[in-house]
Structure 1
Amino acid sequence: MNALRPLCAALLLLAAVPAFAAESPATMLVIHGGAGLERNGTSEADEAGMRAAITEALRKGHEQLAAGKPALDAVTAAITVLEDNPLFNAGKGAVFTHDGRNELDASLMDGATRMAGAVAGVHHVRNPILLAREVMQHSPHVMMAGDGAEKFAKERGVELVDPSYFRTERRWQQLQRALKEDAAGQAHAEPEVARHFGTVGALALDAKGSLAAGTSTGGMTDKRYGRIGDSPIIGAGTYANAQCAVSGTGWGEFYIRVSAAHEICARMAYLKETPAQAGAAVINQEIPAMGGDGGAIVLAANGQVGMPFNTEGMARGWIGADGVPHVALYSDESLALPGEGAVAP
């Protein structure tokens, strides 16, 4: 019996070790730059610019994760890069409404706490994703809109710009073509999803195993009457909990009607589907069955990734703990998913 005492003591000591020896989960950052991308009308220079921007956003977000920062920091860092790039329909590259204005929406959600913040219909906020974070962390509310949101932005020191900052000739000409078609009673030449192509989003898994999701958009070309899509609506365009994070891009009316982002996470929770399976069921089956289209990015707490979309292209990418960016634009481009050797979509 005495001979067993040293062994028992050793086993008790080992039992106390896992709390210190357990490995941290591998970090992950996933980004989209919008579904609806089409080769026809997209120049080689624009393609190269989008690839470079997605790569830069991945690296900026990865810097945060590598420094031990929370998933929220990685998401906001990545989305800010894309909001500042006129190639995407968010921030600087926002499309124009029917009245010739730029109206910006964004949302952010922390999966660990399920705290969320969102803004809609703002006209002067350079980086709406940063204002969404302020709403989440420094107000008792989840969503603010219009003038009230901008007053709060001013109080919180969020950068405001003259509306002219958002004007780009490319987006202005898109509106002019749409207005001519409206006046002539013609159907729009651009596919519906292409009219709001470029919505951006990011998901992150940090070293503590926490998830976060964010989405930012300029809305829909030629939209009227204060229309708001899915991007700033928690559960529709953005959602995160302890197991799942989602950011959507596409025809927002349909994403709202099916609560797309939450629906994907619910399928993962209750049907035990993978991000790819749950994402495909909602994005490539449920939404098209109703007449919509688009895409999404999905990230699980175990690092698995899904990138479903049903348009010709969706700018997308991911970066793991090794810091190597993986980027693709079109549906016929193979993009190996982390840890699976699979391709997306």
Structure 2
Amino acid sequence: MSSIRILTASTVDNILSKLSPESALSSQAHVFKHFSKPSPKPKKQQYDLIQTPHRITVNSEETTMLFMPARAPTISNSTFESSTTTSIKIVSLPQKSNDGLPGTTLILDEKNGKVKAIVNAKKLTALRNACGSALFLQQFPNPTPPKHLILFGSGEQCNSHTILFLKLWPSIEKVTFIIRSETIRSNSLITNLSNQFPNVEIKSSIHSSSDSKGLNELIKQGDIIITATPSNEPLFKSNDEIPKKGTRLILIGSYKPTMHEIDTALIKKSSIIVDSKDACLIESGELIDAKIEKEDLIELGEVLNEEGQNNDKKKIVLDKVGGEEGIIIFKSVGLGIQDVAITKLVLEEAERLNLGSIVENYD
């Protein structure tokens, strides 16, 4: 007989509140490294450790449903042993929704193919993206400790990035969310974050135009700029002073060739790190319009695989823009193996803490 563990949104929240940033970053670094430098199959291994079939889309009159299977090497948070995990994430894109995007991940037992866990993934996608961004910043820190974090957007991606960054970079004194108008969601975001981090100035700034004087002045103040919007037009106009030297930009919103969060001029004068060269050159409108080639890009996993003083990949990135004072961009469209890793980590914590609901004798 087999059982299934079910982790609801509140249970996942409980686990995440206790999960150390280091554990989350370690699990994500593990899959990034394997993605950019796949391990050879063991002699008795017939199938690839990493498998990421293309997502399947099913449409109805009211929503679009995405089915994303993946297999990846994952590392245990308790034993540090590596094994493979298979999962499928299901995300829905309703035409009308004020409650975020519903998402669920199923984890399967690789020995018998049975479902072993059902995990609410609403916050996990944002967390795994934030971990990728944090790994990038750890490899390419600002020339001086960052003080001002600027984010375009007010959704769960912005929330997860802000929480993780404020925990990892205590030098940040100010967080500004750039929005087009105040909403219940944006006000709630600022209130909740202000309660969690009372010593940090957290506020919103309303801008409806990409070239307003106030927006330009604000962008010049940012040490870290995160864009998390599905914008078809650049969110601000760059020039020699915008953004300032040493700025780190993280682009996580655009995922179609028609989308552009920053302009071509900024792409051309920056060094660019990506999660996946192939995926970003298909899905990132910013890179496509700038006619960026595969050899112009370096994957985050490539840099992580060379951690240490003799990191040739890091040297290439810094040399292109004249050192740490240059502008460096991280473009991420998200990898299915990231979902495998973060969900496996949360499930392991649930098992350790005996959290979630168990359905016995499912079969």
Indicate whether the TM-score tops 0.5: no
- What TM-score results when the alignment is normalised by the length of structure 2? 0.25
- What TM-score results when the alignment is normalised by the length of structure 1? 0.26
